[in-house]
Amino acid sequence: MIPRFGPSPRPDVKYHLRPGVYAILPHRGDLLLTFQERPVPELQLPGGGIDPGESPLAALHREVFEETGWKIGSPRRLGAFRRFVYMPEYDLWAEKLCTIYMAYPVRQLGLPTEPDHSTVWTTPRIAAKELGNSGDRRFVARFAL
């Protein structure tokens, strides 16, 4: 059974399944995160949705690069969780199936290419308190502290 974090699904809403991949990225005692300015300012694990026909690992590499400008290596799946949310940027109610990986930042090739994203380095303890959703916080607390 995949655990659920956040609010319960609303019975009056039709949710669309949105699988995604996200990474805990430790480097020299800190974690590489992304700050998304819009639509709601939020500190996040880098990652995002898997495009149709794309493998989860290809999506992980693509999303981390778009949101941080970093290439990653040695991804290892840690687990998954679900959350039911409204995604204003897509005008979509989604059941997000979030698969979390541990990987390592290998090389920064540039700045984030994803609009309204910037990189943030912080300690695992701060990340476990400040990440924008409780599922991400739980995985950081379990695997990065």
Q: Is 137 contained in some domain?
A: yes
Domain annotation covers residue 122: yes
What pLDDT, on a 0 to 100 scale, did the predictor assign at position 145?
A: 75
| Total domain count, the chain | 1
pLDDT tens digits, 42-92: 999 999 999 999 999 999 999 999 999 999 999 999 999 999 999 998 999
Q: In this structure, is residue 2 part of a structural domain?
A: no
Asked if residue 97 is part of any domain, the answer here is yes
CATH code at 47?
3.90.79.10
Please check whether residue 82 lies inside any domain of the structure: yes
Q: Is 104 domain-assigned? A: yes
Band of the pLDDT at 40, cuts 50, 70, 90? confident
Domain holding 93, by residue range, is: 16-143
Question: Is residue 10 situated within a structural domain?
Answer: no
Global pTM reads 0.95
Residue 9 falls within a domain, yes or no?
Answer: no
For the CA atoms of 114, 120, 125, 129, the dihedral, rounded to the nearest 10 degrees, stands at -50
